[in-house]
Amino acid sequence: MGAIYDNERFKQLMNRNYYPLENMQKSVAILKASDQIDIRTMEWGQYQPILSPWEKWPNGSGKAWFRAAGQARIQLSAQPNATPLSKDEHVVVPPNKCALLDASIRKCFNSEPPIPMWMDTKQHRQDDPGSDQHEISLVWEYGNGEDQPPTLLRLTMLCPYVESEKVRVGERAAAARG
C-alpha cells in the first residue's frame, strides 16, 4: 500500500494542509468546526480525509486510506517507545510508537499557535530489515532554542515494501524465458 502514498502529488496535497503556519491555522479552524472529529482527542489517520476529501486524492489513494492507516496503527502500536514527546515535554513518554505519533499530531494541531508539519511518506526497500513493517520518524525543529516549544514537525511514515505490479510482470517474464 505504501507505494501509492510515496507519491509527490499526494505529499503536496497533504502538506498544503499543514504548512506553512497560515495553512495549518486554516486546517485547525476546519477541524474545530467539523462535527466529524474532536481535535483535542483525534488520532493520526482521522483528520486527513476531513482536510482533503479522499475522492480528490491522486491515483485512487483515498480509497485505500482507512485500511492502510489502520494497518499502520496496528503495527506502530506493537512497537515500544522510549522517546519523549518533544524536548519541551521531555517527561511525556508515550508507551508505543502509535501513541507517540498521536500525541505529536495533537501537539501540532492543539498548540497556540499551531505547529506546522511537513509530512513525507516513503516505502521500505525490499532488502531493508523490517521491510514488512511501518515505521515513523518524528523530528521537531526549534526556532528559538530547544527549551522553547517547537516550530515545525517533520513527520516521515515509512511504509512496508510492496512489490509493484511492474516488478512482478518483469519477474514472470524473466522466469518464462528460463
pLDDT-derived band at 54 (thresholds 50, 70, 90) equals very high
pLDDT the model gives residue 168: 38
Q: What SS3 string covers 120-132?
A: EEEECCCCCCCCC
Residue 172 scores a pLDDT above 70: no
Break the chain into its structural domains and give their ranges.
2-177
pLDDT tens profile 112-137: 999 999 999 999 999 999 999 999 99
Question: Which pLDDT belongs to residue 174?
Answer: 45
Report residue 28: phi and psi, to 5°: -60, -45
In percent, the amount of the chain with pLDDT more than 70 equals 89
Average pLDDT on 161-165 reads: 76
pTM, 2 dp: 0.90
pLDDT at 173: 45
How does the average pLDDT of the chain come out, rounded?
91
The neighbouring-strand residues paired with 158 are 122, 135
**What is the per-residue pLDDT across 64-88, written as a single tens digit (0 to 9) for each?**
999 999 999 999 999 999 999 999 9
- Assess contact for 114 and 132: CB atoms under 8 A: no
Buried/exposed 80-111: b ≥16 CB within 10 Å, e otherwise? ebeeebbebeeeeebeebbbbbbbbbbbbbbe
